Amino acid sequence: MEMTAPRLAVALAAAVLSTPNLAAPCFAQDYPARPIRIVVPFGPGGPADVAARLIGNNLQEKFGQPIVVENRTGAGGVIGTLEAAKSPPDGYTLLMMSNTQTANESLVPQQQRKYDLMRDLVPIAPVNYSDLVIVVHPHVAAKTLQEFIALAKSQPGKLNYASSGQGTPYHMAGELFKTMVGIDVVHVPYRNSGEARSGVIGGQVQMMIDAVPAMAPNISAGQVRAL
């Protein structure tokens, strides 16, 4: 099988299949002739993982071939991205990206990344745009955003917030939030969104900013409080 593009970075493969105006690589007529894998450079249960599994199910129905989602975590998404970037350029390895990868181009030196996003990967289409939600552990004495800001200002440096790692969208959102409202809360980076979420649910950290679809079940279950 031949294709004209290097490795593919998914930002929503399904959009390419359903939207004729989007540019896509050229594949042989028998594509796919074997299973396709989607590399998710983040942990299970996070927004990228949820989207990848939804896409995988849809593509599996359309293609009649297994779609395997593989979580390759570590180094803020660098490990999984490198694996996809160095895979054979045959269209059978897709990468579920987020804006973490674009941030890594500036935050992580190329000699550490060992890949070039623009050279080694080709985007297919955008996946989705998720709103973010600020949540706190139920024991935090704040039921509104204004109350949390007042609480944080009364205890500078005493409260913590979780993220899925240094340089991730949720880390950057947390730092932006701190700057906008003038509070001092301490960043606690976890290895992935699932672990960060568990940290808030377990009360090890007080606050987290996460994607609404990923956090919604925990909000509904009363494990965290949305501000």
Architecture of domain 8-123: 3-Layer(aba) Sandwich (3.40)
65-118 tens-digit pLDDT: 999 999 998 887 889 999 999 999 888 999 998 877 777 777 788 888 898 888
- Give CATH superfamily name and number for 132-226: Periplasmic binding protein-like II (3.40.190.10)
Domains 8-123 and 132-226 in one fold: yes
Whether this prediction's pTM lies above 0.75 is answered by no
Contact 12, 124 (CB under 8 A): yes
Domain boundaries, the chain: 8-123, 132-226
Please report which helix (H) or strand (E) contains residue 54, including its range: helix 47-63
**Kind of pairing, strands 67-71 and 132-136?**
unpaired
pLDDT at 7 over 50: no
What's the CA gap between 132 and 145, in Å, rounded?
Answer: 14
170-203 tens-digit pLDDT: 898 999 999 999 999 999 999 888 899 999 999 9
